[in-house]
Amino acid sequence: MSDTIANALEAPSLGDVADPTAYVFRAFAEQTRSDLHALAACMRGSRQTLSRGQVAQIASPLLVAVGENDSIAGSPEALAALIPGARALVIPGRDHMLAVGDRVFKSAVLEFLARRP
């Protein structure tokens, strides 16, 4: 599916996108004035799966933030538990798409960044 969406982002215009899901994604990207080529590159980027051992070797401070109603991301607590020093944040009442714009998320990110060494 990600390659279909990436192709939709690179299509000459919204009218050239035939796949309904890709059309909605492209329409949203255009409405938010997103960089279509950057989004396409992200969609095509590496989706390498890390082992538990590799995840445990992450040395950077990490905030794992997930909306309470997110059916895509999985448990932030479970992931944070695998990463030394990671912190989990559940954003109340938010799903995958609405979590980032939430005030709880923004406040937690600012607090997290202020506490970094």
**CA pair distance 75, 67, nearest whole angstrom:** 10
- Residue 1 clears pLDDT 60, i.e. is over it: no
Bridge partners of residue 87, in order along the sequence? 63
When pLDDT is averaged across residues 66-85 and rounded to a whole number, the result is 93
- Of 107, 114, 108, nearest to 88 by C-alpha is 108
Q: Which residues pair with 67 in a beta bridge?
A: 91
Domain positions in the chain: 2-44, 52-115
| Cβ atoms 112, 90 nearer than 8 A | no
User: Could you tell me which residues come within 8 angstroms of residue 34 by beta carbon, excluding any fewer than 6 positions away?
Assistant: none
- Predicted local distance difference test score (pLDDT) of residue 15: 93
- For the entire predicted model, the pTM comes to 0.62
| pLDDT score of 100 more than 70 | yes
Q: How confident is the model at residue 46 (pLDDT cuts 50, 70, 90)?
A: low
Task: Round to whole Å and give the CA distance between 7 and 1.
Answer: 10
Q: What is the pLDDT of residue 22?
A: 85
pLDDT tens digits, one per residue of 16-33: 998 888 888 889 889 888
Question: Phi then psi for 91, rounded to 5 degrees?
Answer: -95, 110
